[in-house]
Amino acid sequence: MNLEIQKRALTTVIRDDLDALVVLWPAQDAELTQSKEPIAALVKSATLHGDFDHKPGALLSLYAQAGVKTRHLVIVSVADGMPAQVRTAVNAAWVALKSVKIKRLGVHAAFDVSAKILQVAATALADASYSYTHTFSQPKPRALKWVTFSTPTVNAEQRRAVVYAQALVSGVEVAKEWANRPANHATPSMLADAAKSIAKGGSFKCEVMGPKEVTKLGMGAFLAVARGSVEPLRFIVMRYNGAPSSQAPVVLVGKGITFDTGGISMKPAPEMDEMKFDMCGAASVLGVFKALGELKPALNVVGLIPATENMPDAAAVKPGDVVTSMSGQTIEILNTDAEGRLVLCDALTYAERFKPQAVIDIATLTGACVIALGGVRSGLFSNDDALAQTIQLAGEASGDTCWRMPLDEDYAEGLKSRFADVANVAGRQAGAVTAAKFLQRFASRFPWAHLDIAGTAWRSGAAKGATGRPVALLLQYLLIQAEQKSLKMPASRRV
Ligand code: BES
Ligand code: MN
Ligand code: ZN
């Protein structure tokens, strides 16, 4: 989806050759209400007759209106223009235009629209117009190709917001697409190929390791999970270098379980299909790198994806087996369904070699996190208050929110093992926290944060599908980092 912004008056936009035009209408705008402009007059009349009530998403759907070039004109109320209201309005407009084949869409904001609101409108539109078609007999590319925003005045900040939104929506789309693909269409090798092609498109580096290299690295925990699958594991390392190599990178680690049966500790049949989404962490890392390749910010980012299936098999790891992780710590695998932490712990140890300024892992890690926070906020855990605060802030700013959870040492009690340094599961209580406590043991050498996205990365039920979260949060976090770094640099080196 291509986004652009133009400085235009509504009187000229209505003469454009578009497949449809959406006009975002604010509740309070003296100038607009007094305007003699025909559309303003129309809204005024509809309001007087009680046919347009200025609630968010209220619509006036017009067909072949005199003086308007496009046949499809939708005027939609954004009420007070708050982010949630704009999202509602854009969704309502898209539903109203459902039966229209739209390639070129115009979105006119009949008011002074902020950078943030432009971003909200763009992401809501991208979200609403995405449809998964990859495994249908006639896969179709997305219909909506061009979105032209127009407003009466355009400043530099708004232009930047549109460039940012463009990168964000392509990143989110990559994340959704790979997360939605069924496990037999998104194997570890296919994820690796996707990473390579994203790296090529953004001209950065991508290295892919297989079982041989991972064995050599001593990743006994990752290897234990992969043992039960005939699909060979892949360890994907992406490196985006937008800053001098002296600058410590941020490392993103995405859980890439392309299908989670639970292994020998097998999951029950109902909804097991949803475990194809167990690579949403990995998909979000791919999405972030897609966006980085487009935006080219001045910072260094490493992306690590341990990718494998978790399958039961004669060769599969068994409950009670003890394996040695790359860190040297031994792990008693009491439940083979707690596999995410096993692949992540070795990737976290691997992250040490980059001497990172921060490491963030992203994982559909626990059903317990879904119970705790539902689909609204992702769970955030961190051993570093400053890092946690910045991530929370990035969440609020992007609308892709998270909530910090505790890491008291007392929560680690249940992870004690009689047969190894640590067990991979504790009891039923506080499952999201005990999983994080397990990971924390492998993250002592750097500021670390863990995002449990089990509740936020996809929706179940009729609207089943990936949400593309938390690409927006991560990208926002990274851009905050880039900004802070450039402010610390001498002015002469700023770009
Ligand atoms: N991928 C699952 C977590 C999950 C479950 C995400 C349901 C979304 C919905 C993870 O690998 C898992 O199976 N976790 C177990 C851990 C338990 C065995 C300690 C869980 O949450 O039940
Ligand atoms: Mn599992
Ligand atoms: Zn899992």
pLDDT 10s digits, 436-446: 999 999 999 99
Which ligand has its closest atom nearest to the C-alpha of 424?
1
Answer whether 455's CB lies under 8 Å from 369's CB.
yes
Same domain, 320 and 212: yes
What whole-number distance in Å separates Cα of residue 267 and Cα of residue 272?
7
Give the domain CATH number at 276.
Answer: 3.40.630.10
pTM: 0.96
pLDDT of residue 377: 99
Same domain, 350 and 254: yes
170 located within any domain: no
Over residues 60-77, the pLDDT tens digits come to: 999 999 999 999 999 999
pLDDT of residue 494: 46
Over residues 131-148, the pLDDT tens digits come to: 999 999 999 989 999 999
* Tokens, residue 329: 């710590």
Give the domain CATH number at 135.
Answer: 3.40.220.10
Alpha-carbon torsion 192, 195, 200, 205, what sign? negative
Q: What lines the ligand 1 site, CB under 6 Å? A: 260, 278, 335, 337-340, 364-368, 370, 425, 431, 454
E-assigned strands of 87-233?
104-109, 146-151, 205-209
Same domain, 244 and 96: no
Same domain, 259 and 115: no
Same domain, 239 and 148: no
Answer whether 456's CB lies under 8 Å from 429's CB.
no
Same domain, 187 and 299: yes
Q: Work out the percent of the chain whose per-residue pLDDT is above 70.
A: 98
Domain that holds residue 86: 2-152
454 located within any domain: yes
pLDDT of residue 128: 95
CA of 366 to the centre of ligand 1 (A): 4
CA of 454 to the centre of ligand 1 (A): 8
Residue 493 has pLDDT above 90, yes or no: no
What whole-number distance in Å separates Cα of residue 173 and Cα of residue 455?
19
Average pLDDT, the chain: 96
Same domain, 45 and 183: no
Same domain, 92 and 139: yes
Q: How sure is the predictor about 30, in pLDDT bands with cuts at 50, 70 and 90?
A: low
162 located within any domain: no
pLDDT of residue 112: 87
Same domain, 83 and 38: yes
Same domain, 185 and 133: no
Instruction: From the CA of 339, give the closest atom in ligand 1.
Output: 11
Q: How sure is the predictor about 378, in pLDDT bands with cuts at 50, 70 and 90?
A: very high
401 located within any domain: yes
Probe target for ligand 1 pocket from 222, 366, 438, 453, with the most ligand atoms within 8 Å of CB: 366
pLDDT of residue 490: 57
158 located within any domain: no
Over residues 297-350, the pLDDT tens digits come to: 999 999 999 999 999 999 999 999 999 999 999 999 999 999 999 999 999 999
Q: How sure is the predictor about 487, in pLDDT bands with cuts at 50, 70 and 90?
A: confident
Q: Where does a domain end: 152, 167, 195? A: 152
CA of 221 to the centre of ligand 3 (A): 14
Token pair 């609403």 is found at 128
Residue 495 has pLDDT above 50, yes or no: no
307 located within any domain: yes
Q: How sure is the predictor about 193, in pLDDT bands with cuts at 50, 70 and 90?
A: very high
Residue 383 has pLDDT above 50, yes or no: yes
Residue 492 has pLDDT above 80, yes or no: no
The phi, psi pair for 447, rounded to 5°, reads -65, 130
Q: How sure is the predictor about 36, in pLDDT bands with cuts at 50, 70 and 90?
A: confident
Q: Where does a domain end: 107, 137, 152? A: 152
Answer whether 312's CB lies under 8 Å from 219's CB.
no
Same domain, 23 and 101: yes
Number of domains observed in the structure of the chain: 2
pLDDT of residue 31: 67
